[in-house]
Amino acid sequence: MVLRSDWSERPCPIARGIDALGDPWVLLILRELVSGVHRFEKIREQVEAADNILAKRLKYMVETGLAARSPYQDGGRTRYEYLPTQAGADALPILHAYTLWAEKHTPSEGHARRLTIVCRRCGAESNSGEACSACGAALTAGNVSWIRPTYDDHLPRPLTETVAQPG
């Protein structure tokens, strides 16, 4: 997927990171994959993307090692779901950084917070996206819950612990 000139060989790691992760749809899809949402229709519903936009990004994410395709059976038909790889799951602090930045600088008028980062080790809400601001635990997908009022279940639940090998 070419959206601009290739920054993948630039010396600055911020530029290389933006090259890999800078597409807004890719970040929203990663939000779903690390949340345990792995199937095309459900990802589409959550990110509100058209089929072609989503299909193109998922293909890119598999090619670049952010996600892996995994087969499942759907009424006798083999379909594929998308799991975050370790590289994809390692983007979690970036998603947290977006959350914390947006809550500070682009507050949603008249609305409660839309995403709360909860440490599963101590149960506290974290004001930091990398390590729990209460107990210091690293906030990886296996020990974080998000409280998202916009989600179906409205309940805190663990982020996915499923991490696939790229391919």
Among 26, 37, 117, 119, binds Zn ion (CB under 5 A): 119
Q: How many CA atoms lie within 13 A of 90 on its CB side?
A: 9
134 binds Zn ion (CB under 5 A): yes
144 binds Zn ion (CB under 5 A): no
138 binds Zn ion (CB under 5 A): no
What would the DSSP string read from start to end of 73-142? EETTEEEEEEEEBHHHHTTHHHHHHHHHHHHHHS--TT---S-EEEETTT-PBPS-SSB-TTT--B--GG
Phi and psi at residue 34, to the nearest 5°: -75, -15
18 binds Zn ion (CB under 5 A): no
Among 10, 16, 44, 121, binds Zn ion (CB under 5 A): 121
Of 35-43, 46-54, 71-79, 120-128, the segment contacting Zn ion by CB under 5 A is 120-128
133 binds Zn ion (CB under 5 A): no
Least separation in angstroms between CB 22 and Zn ion: 30
Q: How many CA atoms lie within 13 A of 150 on its CB side?
A: 10
Among 26, 33, 67, 132, binds Zn ion (CB under 5 A): 132
Tell me which residues touch Zn ion (CB under 5 A): 119, 121-122, 132, 134-135, 137
